[in-house]
Amino acid sequence: MAIRNVVQVGDDVLRKKCFPVEEFDENLCKLLDDMKDTVKKEEGAGLAAPQVGVLRRVVVVDVEDGYFEFINPVIVAQKGEQTGWEGCLSVRGKSGIVSRPMKVKLSYQDRTGEKHLLQAKGFFARAICHELDHLDGVLYIDKATHIEQN
Ligand code: CO
């Protein structure tokens, strides 16, 4: 387990589309363990693999509902809307107002490759949407209607 460096906005790696995970192997476990250490240390609500320089469809989310690892995640349904503040470990010192779905249904795989479906609402849904955007090179600052320096 190790803390990895979090890439900052301006780095091309944050703007690329990530590839699906095909091998559920030791490298994936190491990446996930390091992402957990990193998001806990940085006190983030989530972290996506490109933020540690890895172009794979892997995110972790750490919210009141719990700590989650999502591999090859896809939002299969969404409902409602919420508008609120968001920040990002790759955009230090800022936060912005972003509209997101109020509820999402997520299909994903765990670290063993097993498939799951999960429903999330409120801030949990927001965190999922934010992290999944990272997998397609999208940052919240692209969607924010208002951005402030912290
Ligand atoms: Co982010």
d(CA 65, CA 6): 24
pTM, rounded to two decimals: 0.97
Residues by chain with Cβ below 5 Å of ion ligand 1: 88
Tens digit of each residue's pLDDT, the chain (150 residues): 799 999 999 999 999 999 999 999 999 999 999 999 999 999 999 999 999 999 999 999 999 999 999 999 999 999 999 999 999 999 999 999 999 999 999 999 999 999 999 999 999 999 999 999 999 999 999 999 999 999
- Ligand 1 centre to CA of 25 (Å) is 25
Which three-class secondary structure state does DSSP give residue 41?
helix
Alpha helices in 15-75 (DSSP H): 26-42
Q: Please, which residues have CB within 8 angstroms of residue 146's CB and are 6 or more apart in sequence? A: 96, 97
Residue spans of the domains in the chain: they are 12-149
Check: CATH 3.90.45.10 for 12-149? yes
